[in-house]
């Protein structure tokens, strides 16, 4: 069960939207929506003045705790945390996905020259990721271990992982000389590491594990919030859809929005390269998520095994092409 470490809040009327996001370019659609006030814009189209509150958290556990305690309305985290909370709230709060934030390859980066594949990790290695066992990086690492050594060995590398926020882990990898010599990251942190430390190299690409481009970072909410706030919910998804179109049409505007909102210390040229990388696909319809769900079911991480991605996402026209 998730701990209730946040003060509970009662259901609110239309127009309140408290969003928890984490770190990185995978949250660019939210950054653009915040910078350009797109949620407020689409709220006006729905006849609802929306007050948006942005909350910064790190790790799927913290995000899920906040959602279940009523401290936030929409959670931003990986597909792993979504599937975990969907499974545990089925028949109760009925948490489901609201939208994807896009497809992104997550790289497991190491500075240990002896580590070429995941089979080369030893007890001397430490791999940073947002949350041990529950984060999407942790689940993809388990998925890779299961493919390498069999489903029964899916947790083989868990002992080497540590929960570290992406910015701190990236700083450790770039600097070198700390116990953290591996990081299962997201853009732009993996790009900064590869550019900032000549010893940094890619050991694992999430796209290879998942069989192609996959939506690894998503947004989700409780059934109660979606049902009681239909106009706010629609305005939110419509705003994300417009943000996706803006990123595609004007990546420079998107990069500048990211810098303004996050205050991140990253070279603008490198950031723009990340935003325009064809491997990074910014869109709201989820893609290729069911494979991870099936793995988590086989590994016993979830009890309820979905037959379709639609089982753990709310229906919305913008998501119709999902998978």
Helix or strand holding residue 107 (H, E) = strand 107-110
Residue 3: is its pLDDT beyond 60?
no
How much is the pLDDT for 1?
35
Residue 11: is its pLDDT beyond 70?
no
Euclidean distance between the first and final Cα of the chain, in Å? Answer: 28
How much is the pLDDT for 60?
79
Mean pLDDT of 102-116: 96
The structure tokens listed for 285 are 């319809």
Residue 62: is its pLDDT beyond 50?
yes
d(CA 30, CA 193): 24
pTM: 0.89
Q: What angle do CA 124, 189, 285 make, to 5 degrees?
A: 115
How much is the pLDDT for 10?
42
How much is the pLDDT for 230?
95
Q: What are the tens digits of pLDDT across the range 294-317?
A: 999 999 999 999 999 999 999 999
Kind of pairing between the strands at 182-184 and 127-129: parallel
Q: What angle do CA 61, 234, 70 make, to 5 degrees?
A: 30
Mean pLDDT of 86-102: 97
Mean pLDDT of 154-181: 95
How much is the pLDDT for 84?
93
Residue 293: is its pLDDT beyond 60?
yes
Q: How far is CA 150 from CA 91, 104, 147, 209, in A?
A: 32, 26, 6, 14
Kindly report whether the peptide bond that precedes residue 188 is cis, defined as omega within 30 degrees of 0: yes
For residue 263, how far is the Cα from the chain centroid? Answer: 19
For residue 218, the SS3 value is strand
CB of 313 closer than 8 Å to CB of 286 = yes
Count CB neighbours of 252 within 10 A: 11
Mean pLDDT of 226-236: 96
pLDDT bin (cut points 50, 70, 90) of residue 4 is very low
Mean pLDDT of 41-51: 96
Mean pLDDT of 46-74: 92
How much is the pLDDT for 89?
97
């Amino acid at each position: 069960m998730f701990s209730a470490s946040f003060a509970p809040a009662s259901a609110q009327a239309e127009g309140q939207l408290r969003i928890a996001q984490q770190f990185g370019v995978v949250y660019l659609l939210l950054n653009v929506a915040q910078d350009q006030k797109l949620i407020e814009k689409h709220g006006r189209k729905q006849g609802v003045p929306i007050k948006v509150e942005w909350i910064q958290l790190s790790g799927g556990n913290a995000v899920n705790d906040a959602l279940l305690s009523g401290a936030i309305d929409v959670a931003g985290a990986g597909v792993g945390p979504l599937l975990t909370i969907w499974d545990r709230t089925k028949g109760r709060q009925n948490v489901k996905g609201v939208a994807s934030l896009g497809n992104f390859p997550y790289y497991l980066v190491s500075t240990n020259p002896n580590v070429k594949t995941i089979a080369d990790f030893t007890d001397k290695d430490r791999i940073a990721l947002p949350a041990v066992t529950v984060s999407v990086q942790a689940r993809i690492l388990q998925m890779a271990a299961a493919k390498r050594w069999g489903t029964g060995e899916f947790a083989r590398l868990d002992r080497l992982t540590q929960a570290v926020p992406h910015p701190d882990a990236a700083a450790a990898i770039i600097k070198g000389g700390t116990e953290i010599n591996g990081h299962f990251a997201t853009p732009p942190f993996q790009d900064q590491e590869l550019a900032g430390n000549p010893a940094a190299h890619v050991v694992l690409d999430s796209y290879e594990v998942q069989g192609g481009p996959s939506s690894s970072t998503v947004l989700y909410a409780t059934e109660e919030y979606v049902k009681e706030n239909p106009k706010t919910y629609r305005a939110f998804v419509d705003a994300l859809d417009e943000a996706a179109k803006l990123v595609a049409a004007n990546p420079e505007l998107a990069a500048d929005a990211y810098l303004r909102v996050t205050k991140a210390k990253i070279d603008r040229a490198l950031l723009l390269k990340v935003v325009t990388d064809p491997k990074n696909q910014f869109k709201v319809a989820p893609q290729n998520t069911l494979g991870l769900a099936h793995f988590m079911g086989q590994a016993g991480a979830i009890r309820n095994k979905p037959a379709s991605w639609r089982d753990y996402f709310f229906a919305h026209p913008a998501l119709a092409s999902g998978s």
